[in-house]
Amino acid sequence: MVFGFLIDVPLIVGGFLLMFRYRKRLALTILRVKLPPLALYLLLSVPLVIFEEQIDCMPAWCAMVAIPPTLPFLLVELLALGGIVLWRQAKNVLRVTLVYSIFGVLWEIFVGGLVGAPLIIIALLAPYVAVGYAFVSMLPLTVLIEGKTTLEGGKTSLPAPLSGAASALR
């Protein structure tokens, strides 16, 4: 952890809770960008992965690199998740996020940073690891699913908000 437990945990958990609360509104705002939903999904994932990985960095590269070396692997993982969501035509973002978080915890236990950790440490860190994976995936998944739904509904883009002068003319 870069800044220490009292700063890092609230950054990730607080950021996740804000994204959870405003995910639909944020996704609809992001979807105004004229790109395919899968491209927006991946572009949005990059800064979230970088932010999360900088906070939960490995000691070997912590505070030494601007772009974490785990970024390509996590983006391939997220691309596979996006492909599965599109292929299975998932509609429930929270269910997909929960499954991805469980996958992330198991990944960290068997392949990642929790390999060989005592069971008590795994039990203490598993909820935080799950929130980290949810932090990285929930908003991009909302953009992907909402964008897919918008395209299927016949709309190609969302209407831009009216400014103060334009709304007065309406």
Domain ranges in the chain? 5-155
Which residue ranges in the chain fall short of pLDDT 70?
A: 1-5, 58-60, 63, 152-170
Are the C-beta atoms of residues 129 and 117 closer than 8 Å to each other? no
pTM of the model: 0.82
Q: How far apart are CA 77 and CA 53, in angstroms?
A: 14
Chain-centroid distance, C-alpha 42: 10
Q: How far apart are CA 158 and CA 94, in angstroms?
A: 23
Distances (CA, A) of 87 to 84, 93, 132, 167, 169: 5, 14, 25, 40, 44
pLDDT given for residue 3 in this prediction:
61
pLDDT in tens, 46-60: 999 998 888 887 666
**Count of Cβ atoms closer than 10 Å to residue 103 Cβ:** 15
The interaxial angle of helices 93-110 and 71-88, nearest 10 deg, is: 140
**Tokens read off for 98:** 């929960």
pLDDT in tens, 109-138: 999 888 888 999 999 999 999 999 999 999
Q: Which residue has the tokens 């035509």?
A: 89
